[in-house]
Amino acid sequence: MTQIIPSLDAIADRYDAVLCDVWGVLHNGRRAYPAACAALQRFKRAGKHVILITNVPKPRGPIPGQLDHAGVPRDAWDAIVTSGDAIRAELALRAPGPMYKIGPDDYDRTLWEGLGLATAPLSAAKFVAISGLNRDDETPADYAETLREARARELDMICANPDIIVQFGDRMIWCAGAIARDYEALGGKVIMAGKPFAPIYDLAYRELEGVAGESINKSRILAIGDGVPTDLAGAQSQGLDCLFIASGMHGEALWTDGAIDVAKVDAALALEGVRAAYAMTALS
């Protein structure tokens, strides 16, 4: 059974570093969770290291400012790695394209900057690139016809965010991973680099070695996240212990009478074929 713990402090002496998810763990898309930020601050004050590892589909450049705006303090983390950073190498290999782009122009502009990629209608594109849904009130069903046409043309899909759904304020919004999931169900080829895939972890280990000044054994690295198919599956594939945050994208579905329910947690993880060493209702 997954071990329920009262705080990160209860296991901090077992680890020298954490790879911590952002959305659903440190903030809800609008505001920070003070207890979660304080937990990472205490961890760092003990001489340990925190790498934020996020499936946001943009390079890390603007992320510190966004975290500032949400209220996540800078002394709660050492470095950031993003799915956008991890996928840019794959995008660059396909320049000049052209690509058929799916995603909001005002959100993902930095993902494509400097890559020399042209855009085109789906009928003339050489591949599909997706950072998210075009509007946050859309659902995956709105893309069914686009996916059928792309599949008929045997186009690869480059997905910059493997997340299926995330919490944004008090509601949930669909992410690029939901479209990629549906394209794979049609038999389409999808390429991703964020969690749970290896490229983003390779970036995280390099960042960690840079801030720590040495390589840290995986047995001393703890992954923290709320996404079962992303955070937990990625940690498991990397051989990392994982602290599962049973709220975030799950709301209160894994609680009973206001408290985390270990039976519900273990059942949910078993359905996805993953495990967590520890679980908490929220990071603290």
Amino acid letter, 118? A
Residue 103: give its domain's CATH number: 3.40.50.1000
Is the predicted pLDDT of residue 248 greater than 70, yes or no? no
Last residue of a domain, one of 192, 212, 243: 192
Q: What is residue 41's three-state secondary structure?
A: helix
Based on the fold, state whether residues 141 and 215 are members of the same structural domain: no
**Neighbouring C-alpha atoms within 13 Å toward the C-beta of 222:** 24
Is the predicted pLDDT of residue 249 greater than 80, yes or no? no
Based on the fold, state whether residues 179 and 254 are members of the same structural domain: no
Relative orientation angle of helices 105-112 and 83-93, to the nearest 10 degrees? 60
Based on the fold, state whether residues 36 and 161 are members of the same structural domain: no
For 169-200, the pLDDT digits (tens) are 777 889 999 999 999 999 999 999 999 999 99
For 123-170, the pLDDT digits (tens) are 999 999 999 999 989 999 999 999 999 999 999 999 999 999 887 777
Based on the fold, state whether residues 48 and 96 are members of the same structural domain: no
193, 242, 237, 212: which is closest to 59 by C-alpha? 193
Based on the fold, state whether residues 91 and 187 are members of the same structural domain: yes
Structure tokens at 125: 């594109």
Based on the fold, state whether residues 35 and 96 are members of the same structural domain: no
Number of C-beta neighbours around residue 186 at 10 A: 12
Based on the fold, state whether residues 180 and 239 are members of the same structural domain: no
Based on the fold, state whether residues 110 and 125 are members of the same structural domain: yes
Amino acid letter, 164? I
For 62-118, the pLDDT digits (tens) are 999 999 999 999 999 999 999 999 999 999 999 999 999 999 987 788 999 999 999
- Counted domains in the chain: 2
Based on the fold, state whether residues 183 and 116 are members of the same structural domain: yes
Structure tokens at 8: 């990160």
Query: In the prediction, which pLDDT does 237 show?
Result: 97
Query: In the prediction, which pLDDT does 165 show?
Result: 87
Pairing of strands 127-130, 165-168: unpaired
d(C-alpha 95, C-alpha 8), whole Å: 44
Based on the fold, state whether residues 92 and 177 are members of the same structural domain: yes
Based on the fold, state whether residues 184 and 145 are members of the same structural domain: yes
Last residue of a domain, one of 192, 226, 256: 192
Based on the fold, state whether residues 137 and 180 are members of the same structural domain: yes
Last residue of a domain, one of 141, 176, 192: 192
In this structure, of 9-18, 125-134, 263-272, the range with the lowest mean pLDDT score is 263-272
Q: Domain range spanning residue 165?
A: 86-192
